Structure 1
């Protein structure tokens, strides 16, 4: 199967505002986010992407725009990779949400958390994992097992995908950190996913490109790594 680069959107006007933006319209990148998005072109220069798949929300589409333009790729919009529908929590200040009984559930037992008039985190994971696996299978069929593609989505969505890839229960996904403009990388195989990066905010990425099709077996004793140059 192919390799997917999981990119969280760059810093938005809502990040750091103390408000849960969710699917609120009009949430754009702030100036630092625009800089982060532009920097992705050089950062991913050594990664031959065959496709870009994005959440439909503005902050994700704006994040991949410079990269897509540089690669002459038209991003594929995938609604199943959209932000969590926080329902009645959308647009509320975090300092008030901290006091809600549901907040403790979200932190300690997220698989049981369902947002009022919104969706549950278990449902978010189900839709996101289904989408990433379906796109991965399609891209593998079209471009081969050595293909690399990029998916741009949101923090909790990517954390849910990573929890699945790591074989962790969703209740552990709050242990995973996914910063704005960070890259995590998963290589799917017929037997298991391999997690190659988590929350990478500045390291080299050329080494994620597969050199040959992989069997799906883990290396006994651990990976031998990338030779020094």
Structure 2
């Protein structure tokens, strides 16, 4: 066993009712964190990388790391139109449709309509966004999305634009089929659609690649529109493509960033001071009308392993020289409320272990979650008491690293993309330490004796952002592309186990905080997000 690895774990003073140290096993799977340098590529002409042959579909995804990064470098480098003022884009997937309910492949067909549940979901989204200010709404032309947009838009007088490129992915001969019909009729091609969608070919088309190119076209139209706050109502696959292309991820990320019915995702675009492509940050992903916390399935696939990233509640700030959301002080009243609301959200899950940073605010948040978990029998969630193992992980404490940054110290709150301003040395230290934390958490999740293993980890937003980057097999340069708020949760599923790719169900979910949550949109009169 690596003794140095052990030293990074801290039991510290035992928490009340818990005396189990965090014992680490040797990791069975370590993602590749060091990336090779790539030659300079001419991106003046936007192209899509060529496909692999059908025979390649049995290769493990880990073997195509170089191809995946090369593809994402392509999308990250293709320029976006310059903008003159900050722009926020709020994307919503349509409510449940009749073909969603039947399990039928819709694609860009227009035969399904919203179910009663879908209408209700759209109404919930309308209420969630009712006080938010929008300058324009872009909608898919397909009925299920147009109806969702009409419900959400309500009595607003601002312009609604129907945009053909926002239609759902074109699936050609697959459209209208049930799963068993697709398997029977198309065999190997259907299997490729399931496990290697980016290289899937049907009727002479590569649907996912066409979709990614279409999403880039949509961004040009959205960003050149004279507006500051934009609502986009579309579909599952096209919203995935919009998110991925905005932050520079290629087609290999299809089905990795989930979009549920009426799930809300938010992207912030900030002008670059020298012109050219704006800074882009994913402020939240897939904030759903109902709770995102549910064990068992992820994007239609069974999953028994889940990692829930909880940002600790806000703390009492000791001085202007501290970093925002510093965890070395007790939580303030807002932080106590945030931690209690998070504990209530997680009540219906049987959490196996809670791993926290050794900082006080993280420990207090972890204790709040543990108390509610272990009282589940008293609260009617279970008929038997639960035991939750409490652990502390030194790797999750990144605040000493952040204190070294002149940019991070003294700012009052975390703006979208704030990690872009960290000095190179600080960024590298944060990234490397978060990588060690990520390895340790994967190891914790790999407990073979627990087929259903749910691990909650509590820490500062910065370490969770960096760990999501490691989950997505990115590099440190991507950290500024994600944002988390105090008291938020993010959920990662592992349908293929911890040795497989993580599927991100939601990022920066705050709806559980109720009146204390961060608004989806902000006033367009505010020049800063």
**What TM bracket, shorter-length normalisation?**
0.7 to 0.9
1:117-128 alignment, distance < 5 Å? 120-128=207-215
What is the number of equivalent residue pairs in this alignment? 215
Please give the per-residue CA displacement for 1:69-128, whole angstroms capped at 9, x wherever unaligned.
321234200000101121111111112224521233333332222332665211111112
Out of 68, 71, 82, the residue aligned to residue 167 of structure 2 is 82
Say if 1:49 and 1:150, in contact at 8 Å, map to a contact too: yes
Question: How far apart are 1:27 and its partner, in Å?
Answer: 1.2
Structure 1 position 201 matched with structure 2 position 403: no
Say if 1:85 and 1:119, in contact at 8 Å, map to a contact too: no
Please give the per-residue CA displacement for 1:139-173, whole angstroms capped at 9, x wherever unaligned.
xxx23xxx211111110111112222333221122
Say if 1:166 and 1:195, in contact at 8 Å, map to a contact too: yes
Say if 1:184 and 1:198, in contact at 8 Å, map to a contact too: yes
Structure 1 position 177 matched with structure 2 position 379: no
1:103-142 alignment, distance < 5 Å? 103-116=190-203, 120-138=207-225, 142=226
1:10-159 alignment, distance < 5 Å? 10-98=95-183, 100-116=187-203, 120-138=207-225, 142-143=226-227, 147-159=228-240
Q: TM-score of the superposition, structure 2-length normalised? A: 0.37
Structure 1 position 186 matched with structure 2 position 267: yes
* CA spacing shift, 1:63–1:95, aligned 2, 3 Å: same
In 2, distance between residues paired with 1:187 and 1:193? 6
Deviates more, 1:34-43 or 1:187-196: 187-196
Larger radius of gyration: 2
CA RMSD of aligned residues (A): 2.8
* CA spacing shift, 1:224–1:79, aligned 2, 3 Å: closer
* CA spacing shift, 1:215–1:168, aligned 2, 3 Å: closer
In 1, distance between residues paired with 2:106 and 2:248? 29
Please give the per-residue CA displacement for 1:31-67, whole angstroms capped at 9, x wherever unaligned.
0111111222220023211110000000001001122
In 2, distance between residues paired with 1:179 and 1:214? 23
Deviates more, 1:29-38 or 1:92-101: 92-101
The residue that corresponds to 1:218 in the other structure is 420
Residue ranges of structure 2 left out of the alignment (5+ in a row): 1-85, 271-276, 291-414, 423-429, 431-461, 463-482, 488-512, 517-529
The residue that corresponds to 1:210 in the other structure is none
The residue that corresponds to 1:206 in the other structure is none
The residue that corresponds to 1:209 in the other structure is none
Say if 1:87 and 1:117, in contact at 8 Å, map to a contact too: no
Deviates more, 1:1-10 or 1:105-114: 105-114
* CA spacing shift, 1:91–1:215, aligned 2, 3 Å: closer
Question: How far apart are 1:215 and its partner, in Å?
Answer: 8.9
In 2, distance between residues paired with 1:121 and 1:33? 26
Say if 2:121 and 2:289, in contact at 8 Å, map to a contact too: no
In 2, distance between residues paired with 1:3 and 1:70? 21
Question: How far apart are 1:16 and its partner, in Å?
Answer: 2.5
In 2, distance between residues paired with 1:137 and 1:186? 15
The residue that corresponds to 1:164 in the other structure is 245
Question: How far apart are 1:224 and its partner, in Å?
Answer: 8.3
Secondary structure at the residue paired with 1:16? Answer: helix
* Higher relative contact order (Cα pairs below 8 Å, separated by 6+ residues): 1
The residue that corresponds to 2:87 in the other structure is 2
* CA spacing shift, 1:185–1:7, aligned 2, 3 Å: same
